Amino acid sequence: MPITWSLKPGVRLRPIPEQECCLAYVPRPPALHGLNLSSWLVLTLCDGREQREIGRDYFDAVGPSGGPGATPGAFDSALIQLEALGLIERRAIEATRKETA
Amino acid sequence: MKHSNPVLDTPPKITLGITETCPMRCSHCYADCANAPKPGELTDAQWIPLIRDLAENGVIQAYFEGGEPLAKPGFLNILRATTPLMMTLVRTHGIGLTADLAKELGDIGLGRGLVDLLGADAATHDAATGMLGSFAQSTAAIANLVAAGIPTDVLVILTAHTAPQLNAIAQHAAGLGAKRIGVLRLYPLGRARAAWSDLALSMAAQTQALATLRMPKGLELMQSWHPNNKNCCWQAAAINAFGRAIGCMYLRDYVDFGDATKTPYNEIFQTDPLYRALRSGDVEESCGDCSGTQGSHGGCRSTAYAFHGRWSAPDPFDLTLNHGVDLTVPPPARAKGGSGADHLVA
Ligand code: SF4
Ligand code: SF4
């Protein structure tokens, strides 16, 4: 079943572009995480859309630059890590959406 | 100005020296704290909008220290207003930190507790704090924080009294379920400067104490001696109990960058010439090992200034930059500077 990803409620981001990283605060349970550029990009793309749309935008952004963030699997593992850190949450798409499609 | 350190446009983390009130009388107290609040300390009603403003302007972590934060009237209100916005850490001696209070701190969303120990037994700790029963209370506080599910560190300032007990303190911390032990250098600030001859260790004795530290399983070590000697000034931000921007609590006796209740902190951060110079890493000498591992240069600016009277001087607490400075001799008092380029190089 397709799933969507969004930022967990209450999570606050503190981009530090001059150091090419972003801090992310989860209030419950409290934790502050440092994200590298690719995790930060994935996080900002998690705006409630489907995983494949987010993935397409991610690879559009990192593809041309190459590097470890552009390897197959980098996107999926970033999603898994961000979810484990309590920064994003997934939702299964309701059948109703499929019916109307 | 040469920039050797990492650069930040605005500070993501800040230390708030929330009060200079404390029930104890530690011989080394950097705050030279008193039982009653000092005139001019910000109230909780003043702190809360200041903290909200900091959050709106990019601060995402607040480290509360004092004095004793838990002795600050309205401190829980301040914490309650902060935890939805920022990661919070509270440094305390744990006096009165009961199981109920620890649970309340957990419910409020405190991110981390840091409890100071000044000995591994009541005789040593209580002598240092000037309060009978304080070791038992600090010990109970660590256990209560851990039981409330709050990650908790033990901090120990390395002095002539704590050095012989370092391993025992680490064992005690581990036994109570602490996550980390932070071994901190002694700074010649407040009452510590007056008591320096009784408290301070030579560089060799500090190195020896650290070398003989055997960490219990599961306990992490934080320390900032060579080759971990870092100039963390590059990211430093702090406001004292009176709302003054001071960059770092260890600069409390030496600088005043302005009134953070009147001027936005980011503006002070970006415009004060001394503050900018301290963050830049533009120092006379730097140790390759430390800059290689820590990404910053020249060690701590507070102890460099205290011992040499020059902001750009080498940090004498670094083995390779010490150059024969006898750390057991108290450094002279330094005039409290305002901000300004006249303080950059003496
Ligand atoms: S507990 Fe802290 S604030 Fe209180 S006297 Fe000791 S050093 Fe000073
Ligand atoms: S004065 Fe020392 S402890 Fe404070 S921020 Fe600078 S280097 Fe760090």
DSSP assignments along B223-264, one per residue: E-STTS---GGGG--EE-TTSEE-SSGGGTTT---EETTTS-
- Report the pLDDT averaged over residues B7-35: 94
Q: Which atom of ligand 2 is nearest to the CA of B278?
A: 6
Contact between B223 and B170 under an 8 Å Cβ cutoff? The reply is no
User: pLDDT per residue over B84-106, tens digit each?
Assistant: 999 999 999 999 999 999 999 99
Alpha helix stretches (DSSP H) within A1-101: 37-45, 51-62, 74-84, 95-100
Closest CA to B59 of B15, B8, B12: B12
Residues with CB under 6 A from ligand 2: B 231-233, 236, 248, 250-251, 300-302
Residue among A10, A19, A29 minimizing CB distance to B8: A19
| Residue among B172, B163, B190, B85 at smallest CA distance from B121 | B172
Task: Choose among B144, B116, B115: nearest CA to B128.
Answer: B116
Res. B340 pLDDT band, cuts 50 70 90: very low
- Residues B49-94 have pLDDT tens digits of 999 999 999 999 999 999 999 999 999 999 999 999 999 999 999 9
Q: Which member of B58, B84, B149 has the closest CB to residue A10?
A: B84
- Structure confidence at residue B337 (pLDDT): 63
Q: How far apart are the first and last CA of chain A?
A: 14
Using CA positions, which residue lies closest to atom 5 of ligand 2? B233
For B263-306, the pLDDT digits (tens) are 999 999 999 999 999 999 889 988 888 787 777 788 899 999 99
What pLDDT is attached to residue A1? 81
Q: Taking CB atoms and an 8 Å cutoff, what residues of chain A touch B111?
A: 30-32
> What sign for the dihedral angle of Cα B115, B116, B118, B122?
negative
- Of the ranges B133-147, B207-221, B228-242, which one carries the lowest mean pLDDT score? B228-242
Determine the residue of chain B that is closest to A15 in CA distance: B58
Closest-CA residue to B265 (of B7, B49, B64, B53): B53
Note whether B28 and B191 are within 8 A (CB). yes
Q: Ramachandran region of residue B321, left (φ > 0), alpha (ψ -120 to 50) or beta?
A: alpha
Rounded to 5°, angle at Cα B198 from B196 and B201: 75
Instruction: Say yes or no for a CB contact (<8 Å) between A30 and B83.
Output: yes
pLDDT of residue B338: 46
B266 by Cβ neighbours in 10 Å (0-12 / 13-18 / 19+) ranks as middle
Predicted-complex ipTM score: 0.92
Phi then psi for residue B336, to 5 deg, are -75, 120
pLDDT value at residue B294 = 78
Q: Are B317 and B298 in contact (CB under 8 A)?
A: no
Q: Which residues of A touch B7 (CB under 8 A)?
A: 18-19
Q: Which atom of ligand 1 is nearest to the CA of B67?
A: 3
pTM: 0.94
Neighbouring CB atoms inside 10 A of B167's CB total 15
Q: Tell me the CA–centroid distance for residue B292 and ligand 1, in Å.
A: 35
Interface of A with B in 11-40 (CB under 8 A): 12, 14, 16, 18-19, 23, 25, 27-32
What pLDDT shows up at residue B344? Answer: 45
Alpha-carbon dihedral B45, B49, B55, B56, rounded to 10 degrees: 170
Query: Is pLDDT at A98 greater than 90 in this prediction?
Result: no
